[in-house]
Structure 1
Amino acid sequence: MTASRAGAIARAQRGFDEGEYLARLRDLVAVPTESQLEGSLPALTRYCAETMPALMRGMGFEPTVLDNPREGRGPVFVGTRIEDPALPTVLVYGHGDVVRGLAPKWSAGLDPWQVTVRGEKWYGRGTVDNKGQHLIAIDALRAVIAERGRLGFNAKVLVETGEEQGSPGLRELLRAEKHRLAADVFIGLDGPRQTTFMPEMKLGARGGVAFDLVVHLRDHAHHSGHWGGVLTDPGFVLAQAMASIVDRKGRIQVEGWTPKEIPPAVKRAIGALVFEDIPGLPEGDPDWGEPGLTKAEKMFGWTSVIVLAALTGHPDAPTNAVQGEARARLQVRHCADIKGADIVPALRRHLDKHGFQIVRVEPVLERDMFGASRTDPDDPWVRFVADSMQRSAGRAPNVVPNSSGSNPSDMFQEELGLPVIWIPNSYAGCNQHGPDEHALAPLLREGLGLMAGLWWDIGEGQTPRRDAKGTPR
Structure 2
Amino acid sequence: MTVEKAVKQAMSWFDSGEFKAVLARRVALATESQSTERDEAIQRYYQQEINPALLAMGFELQFIDNPHAVNRPFLIATRIEDPALPTVLSYGHGDVVFGDDENWSEGLDPWVLFEDGDRWYGRGSADNKGQHSVNLAAIEQVFAARGGSLGFNCKLLYEMGEEISSPGLAEICQTYQQALSADVFLASDGPRLSAERPTLFLGSRGAVNFRLSVNARDKDYHSGNWGGLLPNPGTLLANAIACLVNQQGQLQVAALKPPAVSAAIRQILSDIEVGTTPGDPQIDVDWGEAGLTPAERLFAWNQMEVLSFLTGNPARPMNAIPGKATAVCQLRHVVGTDWQNLQQHVRQHLDQHGFHRVEVEFLRGSPATRFDPTDPLVSWALEVMQHSSGKKPALLPNLGGSLPNEVFADILGLPTLWVPHSYPACGQHAVDEHMLISITREGLQIMTRLFWDLGERGNSLLKAHHEHAAKTGGEA
Is the TM-score greater than 0.5? yes
Q: What is aligned with 2:376?
A: 380
Whole-Å separation in 2 of the counterparts to 1:293 and 1:343: 23
Report if aligned partners of 1:79, 1:158 keep a CA contact under 8 Å in 2: yes
Residue 455 of structure 2 is aligned to residue 459 of structure 1: yes
Whole-Å separation in 2 of the counterparts to 1:37 and 1:255: 42
SS of 1:244's equivalent? helix
Deviation, 1:414, is: 0.9
Q: Percent identity?
A: 44
Whole-Å separation in 1 of the counterparts to 2:362 and 2:113: 39
Whole-Å separation in 2 of the counterparts to 1:122 and 1:215: 48
Q: What is aligned with 1:264?
A: 263
SS of 1:137's equivalent? helix
Q: What is aligned with 2:347?
A: 348
Whole-Å separation in 2 of the counterparts to 1:182 and 1:77: 15
Whole-Å separation in 2 of the counterparts to 1:265 and 1:38: 47
Whole-Å separation in 1 of the counterparts to 2:116 and 2:367: 38
Deviation, 1:8, is: 1.5
SS of 1:52's equivalent? helix
After TM superposition, the structure 1 = structure 2 runs for residues 316-327 of structure 1, keeping only pairs within 5 Å, are 316-327=315-326
Whole-Å separation in 2 of the counterparts to 1:67 and 1:379: 36
Whole-Å separation in 1 of the counterparts to 2:144 and 2:156: 18
Of 248-257 and 172-181, the range deviating more from structure 2: 248-257
Whole-Å separation in 2 of the counterparts to 1:471 and 1:279: 40
SS of 1:465's equivalent? helix
Distance 1:339 1:112, change over 3 A: farther
Distance 1:170 1:85, change over 3 A: same
Of 102-111 and 260-269, the range deviating more from structure 2: 260-269
Of 36-45 and 132-141, the range deviating more from structure 2: 36-45
After TM superposition, the structure 1 = structure 2 runs for residues 22-421 of structure 1, keeping only pairs within 5 Å, are 22-72=20-70, 74-149=72-147, 150-273=149-272, 277-365=276-364, 369-421=365-417
1:257-279 deviations in Å (ceiling 9; x for gaps): 21230122222111122557222
Q: How well do the aligned residues superpose, as a CA RMSD in angstroms?
A: 2.0
Q: What is aligned with 2:474?
A: none
Deviation, 1:381, is: 1.5
TM-score, normalising length: structure 2? 0.94
Report if aligned partners of 1:34, 1:97 keep a CA contact under 8 Å in 2: yes
One-letter identity of the residue aligned with 1:404: G
Q: How many residues align?
A: 468
Whole-Å separation in 2 of the counterparts to 1:349 and 1:42: 50
Whole-Å separation in 2 of the counterparts to 1:42 and 1:258: 46
Whole-Å separation in 2 of the counterparts to 1:330 and 1:71: 27
1:154-202 deviations in Å (ceiling 9; x for gaps): 1111111222222221111101000000000111111111122232100
Report if aligned partners of 1:380, 1:472 keep a CA contact under 8 Å in 2: no
Deviation, 1:40, is: 4.5
Distance 1:356 1:45, change over 3 A: farther
Residue 431 of structure 2 is aligned to residue 435 of structure 1: yes
Deviation, 1:462, is: 4.2
Whole-Å separation in 2 of the counterparts to 1:195 and 1:375: 22
TM-score, normalising length: structure 1? 0.94
One-letter identity of the residue aligned with 2:94: G
Whole-Å separation in 1 of the counterparts to 2:399 and 2:31: 24
Unaligned stretches of 5+ in structure 2? 471-476
1:362-405 deviations in Å (ceiling 9; x for gaps): 2225xxx4320000001121122112212212343211100000
Deviation, 1:465, is: 2.3
Which one has the bigger helix percentage? 2
Distance 1:435 1:173, change over 3 A: same
SS of 2:21's equivalent? helix
Of 382-391 and 406-415, the range deviating more from structure 2: 382-391
Of 428-437 and 31-40, the range deviating more from structure 2: 31-40
Unaligned stretches of 5+ in structure 1? none
Deviation, 1:457, is: 0.3
Whole-Å separation in 2 of the counterparts to 1:182 and 1:443: 31
